[in-house]
Structure 1
Amino acid sequence: MRKVLLSAACLGTTTVFAQIKDTLQSQNVDEVIMTASRKKENIKEIPGSVTVVNEKQIQSQLTVNSDITSILQYTVPSLGTNSGQTSNTGQTLRGRQVLVLIDGVPQSTPLRNGARDLRTIDPSVIERIEVIKGASSIYGNGADGGIINYITKRSKTDQKISGISQFGLTAQPYGGTLGFRASQLLSGKVNRFDYVVSMAYERTGYMKDANGINLSPTYSPAKMDNYNGMLKVGYTINNDQRIEASYIGYASRSDLNLGLKTGKYGITPTIGEGVGKNLETTPQGTPRNHNIKLSYDHKNLFWGTTALNINTYYQDFKTVYGYSDTFLNGGQSNVISKKYGARANFDTQLWNGKNSQGEVIYGLDVLNDQTVQKLEDGRYWTPDMDMTNIAPFLLVKIDLLKKLTIRGGLRYENMSVNVGDFNTLSSIKNDGTFTQSIFVTGGKLKYNALVGNIGVRYNIENYINLFGSFSQSYSINELGRILRTSTQGTIQNLETKPIIVNNYELGATGQISKWINYEITSYVSTSKLGASFVQSPDRALTIQRSPEVVYGVEGFLHFTPAKWFNFGGSYSWIEGITSVKNDGDYSTKINNSRISAPKVLAYVQVRPTSSLSFGLDMLHAFKQDRFDPNPKTGLYAYGEGFVPDYTIFNLKSSYEVTHNWKLSLGIENLFNTTYQPAIAWWSARDSDFTNSLGMRGTFMIEYKF
């Protein structure tokens, strides 16, 4: 039986919707394989919720749109829809912020969440994506809503060299919108060494709506150069020991030079036209994201009873935003973050009987995160923040009668943040006056807590398996935004307490027949002191700290009536409420910047011959009408705008010319529908009211050797 690889401290169930979707024959769910760097497990032993997006599906979605935020919105039911921009603002998981990883290395910047963490890698090097849903502390700070882990490709051949070459063109039916991408991956094995080398480059074209009008240049992915390189080298010392080193680098830079014509919220979209003012000192995008990792594995330490994994990593990240006139003399900001980390993970078998087994997983995580947000001219928007987190953990797992799995774990979070002295930036108020800059004395902030998880899964029969779990996360998300809007002269007077999320989950999954698979999950997450964006009178976004409850349901159905034909879909619904005055009155709803509209994903896939395949994806986002406008002005507050529904269809097709050559054609927004992304409505701002991308086709040629 093939195994499932899953993070040891994650108590999540496994949603196999994404994995099954591209399979053209009935599969038993325990054939799904995942990797999250901590522990190998069979899927039938996992009492929680995880979506797996496999390599075949990633490549299929890549034919339609190479933007990873688009790939995720079509494959993860409980993830919010994307913004169509370089920012993933609003694309929350179960209504909370998500921690993004590449091979277990954190990419997110929770100390100052810049919402650029999803777009930090090219999909051509991803083997699969794990989405662990629900609060999790396994990787430390920032996983209030869960974890998205991009697992990169590895060498799977005994040949000295093999490879995949891809070349693609993108175009819209309006002229002047041509883009292209090319990637080359080489892998192989020489004696005890194995390697993977990859290079990818993409040049996007102009991006236009269904009427052929240029989309807004604000945070636009148009006219952007994207680069991705990967080198992974492994050495198998013997049957028990292995070392591996890897480097992954990503960069994106835009040279779009369109002027901005601001529209009217709900009426006329903001568009790009003419020539821009060229106020930026640096091209927008993510000019660097370097990841270096070194790992060592020993399968039979201590007389064969214990397995050991040790890995160390380094990440250097910078992202650049557009010009803003909201502060004195204007400027262009960036977020810079460096991380140094090490993890030691031990897995000891307590006993291994015929019908039962027990094991304990334990270890230590160390992370140093240095983050700052500055203007490109050198002015500090946030102070320097230097966080160190030392976290020992322990997890006990017991399997009984091959049907019942019980797991429970503890993790002690010990965080300290050194905050530098700084001057706040003077910003512009609505009346044209400026807030005064003040000097803020820094210092050291200390946080610690014991968080835990426990879960049970009972596999009754193939057609019904039940699971339930409780898990916690602990994070100091958005400390930088709290500090940069300080009105106090010292950080000790600010509300900087961490966010502790308690996640409760119940669900059922199974295979009703050889051709029907299903899963349904319900969840509730609570936090005594959550964090949401609200707009202050002087136009700035501030953090509202108050108790929160977020709850929802999600599920999928998959049908495979024949080997050449399959179809299915998923549904997700979420709601969130808060007690603003902390008085037990939860009558206030968390705004739409976190609580996304209900979403339906559906698909049909047909393979009329062994070499020809057609697929149709549908995304339907329901309307959101959760708030009323201001009765005096008729305007909505930030995050509370009415969001209408929309439905989008994408076409995917491929033809295998020979065993080595394949042609693919994808059409995004097949019917050229005019619609706006959710953020255009819920943000309730004229400048953010933009249309989405119109019809766009992608043609790709692939050669394998």
Structure 2
Amino acid sequence: MKKIKIIYLLILMPFFGFAQEKINSQEKVNELDDIIITASRKKESIKEVTSSVTIVGEKKIQTQSVVNSNISSILQYTVPSLATSSNQTSNYGQTLRGRPFLVMIDGIPQSTPLRNGGRDVQVIDAASIERIEVIKGGTSIYGNGADGGIINYITKKSRQDKIVSGAVQFGLATQPATFTESLGYRTSVSLNGKQKRFDYVLGFTYDRSGLLKDANSVNIAPNYSLANMNTYNGLIKIGYAISEKQRIEASYIGYASKSFLNQDIKIGEWGVTPSIGIEISDRPGTPEGTPRNHNFRLSYSNSEIWKGTSLNVNAYSQDFRTVFFYDKVQFLNGGQSNVKSNKIGLRANFDSRLISKADYKAEIIYGLDLLQDATVQKLEDGRFWTPQMNMQNTAPFALIKFDALEKFTIKIGARYENIRVKVDDFNTLPILNTKTNTYPQSIFVKGGNLEYNALVWNMGVRYNILPAISIFSSYSQSFSINEIGRILRSATTSVVSKLPTDPIIVENYEVGLAGAPVKWFNYEVASFSSTSKLGASSVQKPDGSYVMQRAPERIWGYEAVVNFKPSAYLSFGGSYAWIEGKVDNDNNFSYEKYINGARIMAPKVTGYIQIQPLKNWDVELSALHNFERDRFDPNATTNKYSFNEGPVPSYTVFNVSNSYIINKHFKTSLGVENLFNKDYSPNIAWWMARNQDFVKSSGRRATLQIQYSF
């Protein structure tokens, strides 16, 4: 106990020093300006965007990372209408405005639409990210999969004129009540610089987590666990300015995670006793995690390829593989599944000025997207759970943008999707029928070719009346092929073409207000709704198998964000989001049943307060309050809730983050997650309504970091 007290004193000491010198200005982390690139595939001010956007700047990312470096956790505190994190390796159920979203890294798609493994959020480390741009609401601007919006991770770029500058960071993280067992560490190195026309960014991060315990110091269940996980992340970005107008850039981003957790699950009782982890000598199967996520990108830009027209071309590839936990029950003789996806793509983007006058401007953004995606889900022993699926996507697009008097913006765009999917012949994998406790016979399914075509539209308007008030409104359509892999693996017919693989087309409507009445206050309020004539939700059949329910859907809601900064030493603010949705199972326009918890999040409020007690000391206290959502009744006979329909209770959790600049080279940070050691379960544990998934969230966890900049 005495040793622990000494450690705490060492942790807290840096925050009570009297350093007089701050880190060099070029190394200080500032919030980025309001220039974004994701909404229209070109740089533009947020005052020209006709829909709701959230930009998570580098300073906010670093502040949140001191508390928890997991990106799912960072996003739940910074994006109002994004569902709360599961605190797991999977982001299943973390929807955006009630629908799946498209994840990208510098415009490279990370989502696996042919078979969604729920691992696309956690495919890069926060240390490599400069900012996160979140476009909320269905959109087709980047193609397939953005029914709920887009999350684009923008990686770091060189900001220095020096040949070499950078930072080295080392951190420890632990849960105080179980200090030794929970101890993990994290280290990262970053370099960047410029030499004449060359510039570069290099980065490497290694994170080794310790055991994760709940508020009562009990092991959290091991399935999809983030405990005892080795994570690696590398970034290489090299740019060359061919001329004042031309630039070429090549980048590589590599990510890998691998569990070394030797625990088995002790299944509890839903709503009563949580499932926990029990120590074993050797966990069966191969290590869970994402063994690889390799992203290569080569881009070329020319600000005037011909008069009045700029060009940006991105060629990319992704090699992704993720491994799930070993399941002794679901698969005959046990098994462990994985998803493998390989993508090759090209995005060509032209921007031509049509009118360029002092008060009026018009331009057309147009181009072509090409994508080839090969995806398969197997068991580690080689058995196919889905067949090999090969998708080719060709999509020309155009967007006309008109600006007047720097106050009025109109956008009208269209995109034509042509998607072809080739499916190999395969035999279905026997999955346990929980009703009969038997494994059904495998059936042969003849493969074939599937083709989808659609013309989708988007239009929007924004009027910046005064600094105090801007009005924006938009209508947009998104197009997504349904998760074909999930449909195929539960096939009951012998021919692929007879399966219900119709695509999902979402019509999204939004209207909002934003503004800054005074310099120290800004706000944004948005109301939205989306409809789809044929939605898709995961439901459980009476035999225990899982299928995609196809029926008309309607989702609606609103969100609000406010920020106050009355002085240089104080800022505070928060957000609120409420979403609801219904499904029309009878196809009679009655929308008689609520959409389940895997899609619709419980309402949530986030808040923060930042203070600067001393010149070099910054403190942020953040909070998340999750409201209850209870929309379904239990079975009258068994008194049990159906899969994904369990009621979600309310809870509130607080975090604190400190950073102290010791001198121009050194900075130290201390963060505490779940500050008051709240005993609660994540939402997914409640709405899934299954014994094995009823788990607890982590208890109080502290992180100490020290950074050396040069």
TM-score (norm 1): 0.95
Q: 1:4 is matched with which residue?
A: none
Whole-Å separation in 2 of the counterparts to 1:221 and 1:208 = 11
CA-CA distance at 1:404 after TM superposition: 1.1
Whole-Å separation in 1 of the counterparts to 2:511 and 2:374 = 37
Whole-Å separation in 2 of the counterparts to 1:233 and 1:475 = 34
Q: 2:34 is matched with which residue?
A: 32
Whole-Å separation in 2 of the counterparts to 1:566 and 1:427 = 54
- Mapped pair 1:481 → 2:483: no
CA-CA distance at 1:274 after TM superposition: 2.4
Please list, as runs of the form range in 1=range in 2, the aligned pairs for 1:190-339 lying within 5 A after superposition. Answer: 190-275=195-280, 278-280=283-285, 282-303=286-307, 305-324=308-327, 325-339=329-343
- Mapped pair 1:83 → 2:86: yes
Q: Map Cα deviations across residues 369-391 of structure 1 (whole Å, 9 max, x no partner).
A: 11110001111100111000000
Q: 1:701 is matched with which residue?
A: 706
Please list, as runs of the form range in 1=range in 2, the aligned pairs for 1:269-668 lying within 5 A after superposition. Answer: 269-275=274-280, 278-280=283-285, 282-303=286-307, 305-324=308-327, 325-430=329-434, 431-668=436-673
Q: Map Cα deviations across residues 518-561 of structure 1 (whole Å, 9 max, x no partner).
A: 11000011100000010111212210000001111001111111
Q: Which amino acid aligns with 2:479?
A: Y
Q: 1:162 is matched with which residue?
A: 165
Whole-Å separation in 2 of the counterparts to 1:234 and 1:401 = 36
Q: 1:189 is matched with which residue?
A: 194
CA-CA distance at 1:35 after TM superposition: 3.4
**Equivalent residue of 2:74, what SS?**
helix
Q: 2:17 is matched with which residue?
A: none
Aligned sequence identity (%): 56
Pick one of 98, 110, 113 that aligns with 1:110: 113
Q: Map Cα deviations across residues 577-620 of structure 1 (whole Å, 9 max, x no partner).
A: 11012121201111011100001000011012220111100000
- Mapped pair 1:124 → 2:96: no
Whole-Å separation in 1 of the counterparts to 2:549 and 2:118 = 18
How many positions carry a matched residue from both structures? Answer: 678
Runs of 4+ in structure 1 displaced over 4 angstroms? none
Pick one of 130, 143, 151 that aligns with 2:154: 151
Whole-Å separation in 2 of the counterparts to 1:24 and 1:450 = 43
Whole-Å separation in 2 of the counterparts to 1:672 and 1:65 = 15
Does the CA-based 8 Å contact 1:113-1:477 persist in structure 2?
Answer: no
Whole-Å separation in 1 of the counterparts to 2:90 and 2:45 = 36
Does the CA-based 8 Å contact 2:507-2:532 persist in structure 1?
Answer: yes
**Equivalent residue of 2:502, what SS?**
coil
CA-CA distance at 1:455 after TM superposition: 0.2
Change (3 A) 1:467 1:192: same
Whole-Å separation in 1 of the counterparts to 2:151 and 2:312 = 21
Q: Map Cα deviations across residues 289-315 of structure 1 (whole Å, 9 max, x no partner).
A: 000000000001212x00000110000
Whole-Å separation in 1 of the counterparts to 2:462 and 2:264 = 56
CA-CA distance at 1:24 after TM superposition: 12
Q: Map Cα deviations across residues 152-186 of structure 1 (whole Å, 9 max, x no partner).
A: 00111110000011100001122211000000000
**Equivalent residue of 1:132, what SS?**
strand
Whole-Å separation in 2 of the counterparts to 1:555 and 1:470 = 19
Q: Which amino acid aligns with 1:488?
A: T
**Equivalent residue of 1:620, what SS?**
strand
Whole-Å separation in 2 of the counterparts to 1:610 and 1:502 = 50
Change (3 A) 1:119 1:273: same
**Equivalent residue of 2:182, what SS?**
coil
Does the CA-based 8 Å contact 1:141-1:477 persist in structure 2?
Answer: no
Q: Which amino acid aligns with 1:43?
A: I
Whole-Å separation in 1 of the counterparts to 2:78 and 2:366 = 32
Whole-Å separation in 1 of the counterparts to 2:639 and 2:47 = 53
Whole-Å separation in 2 of the counterparts to 1:543 and 1:129 = 31
Q: 1:20 is matched with which residue?
A: none
Q: Which amino acid aligns with 1:57?
A: K
Does the CA-based 8 Å contact 2:35-2:43 persist in structure 1?
Answer: no
Q: Which amino acid aligns with 1:299?
A: S
Q: Which amino acid aligns with 1:345?
A: N
Whole-Å separation in 1 of the counterparts to 2:489 and 2:167 = 47
Q: Map Cα deviations across residues 619-675 of structure 1 (whole Å, 9 max, x no partner).
A: 000011111101111000011101110100001111100122101000000000100
**Equivalent residue of 2:67, what SS?**
coil
Worse-matched range after superposition: 33-42 or 260-269: 33-42
CA-CA distance at 1:38 after TM superposition: 2.3
Whole-Å separation in 1 of the counterparts to 2:33 and 2:108 = 26
**Equivalent residue of 1:142, what SS?**
coil
Whole-Å separation in 1 of the counterparts to 2:636 and 2:282 = 37
Q: Which amino acid aligns with 1:45?
A: E
Whole-Å separation in 2 of the counterparts to 1:626 and 1:294 = 48
**Equivalent residue of 2:62, what SS?**
helix
Whole-Å separation in 2 of the counterparts to 1:494 and 1:418 = 14
Q: Structure 1 stretches of 5 or more lacking a match?
A: 1-22
Whole-Å separation in 1 of the counterparts to 2:29 and 2:594 = 42
Q: Which amino acid aligns with 1:551?
A: W
Whole-Å separation in 1 of the counterparts to 2:511 and 2:664 = 45
Does the CA-based 8 Å contact 1:259-1:276 persist in structure 2?
Answer: no
Q: 2:5 is matched with which residue?
A: none
Does the CA-based 8 Å contact 2:261-2:283 persist in structure 1?
Answer: no
Q: Map Cα deviations across residues 260-299 of structure 1 (whole Å, 9 max, x no partner).
A: 111110000000112166221x100000000000000000
- Mapped pair 1:73 → 2:76: yes
Pick one of 673, 680, 686 that aligns with 2:678: 673
Whole-Å separation in 1 of the counterparts to 2:339 and 2:177 = 36
Does the CA-based 8 Å contact 1:249-1:288 persist in structure 2?
Answer: yes
C-alpha RMSD over aligned residues = 1.3
Does the CA-based 8 Å contact 1:24-1:566 persist in structure 2?
Answer: no
